[in-house]
């Protein structure tokens, strides 16, 4: 049975120059979730990131935004997991996904890094453990691998941003299911959000 989630981590790069870029969609999500739950983030230097204490429907939890850059996300994730004794199976990592179009969002349990530098560093920092849950928010592929870096470090178009914000808002409504481990139910709801199959093996 899927584990409950004690820690929701949004990935991104710190600094105002990156705030509205595609690569910071993980930050967008946890910021919106914090606003919905009525909590605020606080920088915790020893954890290398911003933490918000939250009350999920059936248990307490935390939201986290690493203060490290994307390719060093694992440094911060390992620090908070060690400090609060949180297992990888009890983590949800929210990140941008170039292999999905804008307006698409999917849940995935475990797996590789898919070429995502943040996921790669997290897996390495967790000593190869890949069993954390991922919420993948589509930002689209630019069409060529040579321009992927530039693509994710740019702002999405107004149309794409509207589509991304729509699925973020819809997915936030499913957080109570996700954090309690009701992944099949949440995936069925995501299916209707995306308008196409969003299920992946859990």
All domains of the chain, ordered by start, with CATH? 7-194 (3.40.50.1470)
Does 23 participate in catalysis according to the annotation? yes
- The gap from C-alpha 167 to its chain's centroid, in whole angstroms, comes to 13
Q: State what percent of residues in the chain have pLDDT above 70.
A: 95
Please write the tens of the pLDDT for every residue from 109-148: 888 888 899 999 999 999 999 999 999 999 999 888 889 9
How far is residue 106's CA from residue 147's CA, in Å, rounded to a whole number?
A: 24
Q: What is the pLDDT of residue 198?
A: 41
Average pLDDT over residues 31-54: 97
Helices 183-194 and 158-172, interaxial angle, to 10°?
150
Q: What is the pLDDT of residue 160?
A: 95
Q: Is the pLDDT of residue 201 over 50?
A: no
Q: What is the pLDDT of residue 144?
A: 87
Q: What is the pLDDT of residue 98?
A: 94
φ, ψ of residue 24 to 5 degrees: the values are -100, 15
Say which residues have a Cβ less than 8 Å from residue 45's Cβ, sequence separation at least 6: none
Q: What is the pLDDT of residue 43?
A: 97
Is the whole-model pTM more than 0.85? yes
Catalytic residue among 20, 23, 59, 159: 23
Q: What is the pLDDT of residue 113?
A: 86
Neighbours of 143 (CB within 10 A): 9
Please write the tens of the pLDDT for every residue from 67-90: 999 999 999 999 999 999 999 999
């Amino acid at each position: 049975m899927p584990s409950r989630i004690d820690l929701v981590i949004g990935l991104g790069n710190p600094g105002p120059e990156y705030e509205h870029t595609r690569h910071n969609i993980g930050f967008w999500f946890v910021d919106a979730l914090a606003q919905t739950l009525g909590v605020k983030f606080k920088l915790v230097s020893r954890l290398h990131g911003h933490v918000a204490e939250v009350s999920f429907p059936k248990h307490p939890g935390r939201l986290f935004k690493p203060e490290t850059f994307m390719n060093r996300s694992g440094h911060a994730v390992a620090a908070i997991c060690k400090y609060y004794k949180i297992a990888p199976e009890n983590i949800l990592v929210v990140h941008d996904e170039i292999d999905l179009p804008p307006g698409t969002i999917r849940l995935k349990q475990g797996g590789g890094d898919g070429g995502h530098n943040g996921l790669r560093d997290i897996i390495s920092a967790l000593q190869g453990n890949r069993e954390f849950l991922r919420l993948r928010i589509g930002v689209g592929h630019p069409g060529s691998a040579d321009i992927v870096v530039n693509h994710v470090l740019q702002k999405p178009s107004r149309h794409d941003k509207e589509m991304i914000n729509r699925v973020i808002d819809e997915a936030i409504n499913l957080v109570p299911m996700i954090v309690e481990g009701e992944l099949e139910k949440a995936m069925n709801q995501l299916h209707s959000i995306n308008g196409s199959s969003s299920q992946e093996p859990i």
